[in-house]
Amino acid sequence: MKVLIATGYEPFGPDGDLSFPEELRSAVEESGHLADLIRIPYDVSSPQRVVNDILVTRLLRIRQTADDVLITLGYPADYIHHSHKVIWMAGLASQILLAGENGTCQEEIDQGKQALREAERLGLEEAQKVFSFSRAAAEQVFEIHGLRPTVLRPPSAPDLDWPQTVAELLG
């Protein structure tokens, strides 16, 4: 099986730990699958840029065969169209992004949040499976979109049970 892992990142931004997608890619390979990783740049400096990120990501077309799987790890990767998509999310972008835009009129912020919610809805509907990092994130998805993701916490020290996690994602 070929597995593509897609994640977003903010160039020159405070992205935190970018090693997580690499660890997942390595775990998928160690489980006997071919794996690759793409990082999609994004810019959340304004509602219009968020809308542009959504449009560009929705236009991405990834060549696929019957046994290919796409695992997405959040904004904006969750919005990629793919017939065998698995979403594994920490939370909803519509609840995180555009939360406190200074100097932006409320109408623009509301339009950006509406575009994010619609993109989330489409992305979630297209997914074959949806996982969340926590129960709180799963509840948030249920409250906003009426879908209850399966809670699948990322492996952490000391157990680091990546084989079980990969089996859950791909099973």
CATH number of domain containing 40: 3.40.50.2000
Q: How does pLDDT run across 121-142, given as a tens digit for each residue?
A: 999 999 999 999 999 999 999 9
Mean pLDDT value of segment 31-51: 89
Number of domains comprising the chain: 1
Site of tokens 């859950």: 168
Q: Of 25 and 67, which is predicted with more confidence?
A: 25
Domain that holds residue 25: 2-170
If pLDDT is split at 50, 70 and 90, which confidence band does 10 have? confident
If pLDDT is split at 50, 70 and 90, which confidence band does 157 have? low
Residue 103 clears pLDDT 90, i.e. is over it? no
- Is the pTM higher than 0.85? The answer reads yes
If pLDDT is split at 50, 70 and 90, which confidence band does 111 have? confident
